Structure 1
Amino acid sequence: MRGFLFISTVFLLLVLEAQGAKFAEEKEVHDEEHIKQHLENKIEVEKLTEEQQRFHYFSMHDLNKDNFIDGIEILKALTHTHDAHDSGHPVPVSDEAETERLVDAVLDDLDFNGDGVIDYGEYLKRQ
């Protein structure tokens, strides 16, 4: 049983590590299917300009609509999936220290003014 838990934990950490590396990267920002799923096909994503895609990617991760992406919103972005076989539940997080490290890495990369949140201007600097 311990072996299974260890292997499961290692697998989860690898998945989270890979997802953390993808947050706000160009491929993710321009992933039309991902944006469509969040916008529930309300707009024709394929007709969006690159600038509009970047804006919608930022907006769909700004869950409380305060024009900032904070650590909680980063965590939710890193742990949600849209796979066809997905149950709709987020990926469980079993190691708080590793999760904090991943969120902190995203903030270190994108939070240029060090206020603990990512605003749209900071986000655009990495695009």
Structure 2
Amino acid sequence: MEETNKTDANAESKKMPEKPLEKMTAPELRELAKSFGVEGVHAMKKEELVPILKEAYGIKDETPGKKAVQAGGKAVTVREVKDRIAKLKKDKAAALEAGDRKMRNILRRRINRDKKRSRRAVHA
């Protein structure tokens, strides 16, 4: 009788959640991932948890992450663009410290261009 209760509880945790995975918060997704035995969920972000859970539930991922098109035609994610913006901001601060106004202006323009790309990709 006790074993039946354990399997029922395990079956309950494997059911699809009522909300879509994309609408769930990161803590909710972490709880689901823990029920599947995924390790290291505390360090994962929502963007990393959703594909893992979709695979666990057997859901095909029809909509990959938002993509922004780079000048070279290569598609990159919004996260990659934002990471590049952060790096450019650091470089801009270093150029400002060094007194290199020309490089600072170049980096400022690159930052603005990447910000526009990320905003366009989010709203596309």
Say which one has the larger Rg: 2
Query: TM-score, with normalisation over the residues of structure 1?
Result: 0.30
Q: TM-score, normalised by structure 2?
A: 0.30
Higher fraction of helix: 2
Higher relative contact order (CA 8 A, sep 6+): 1
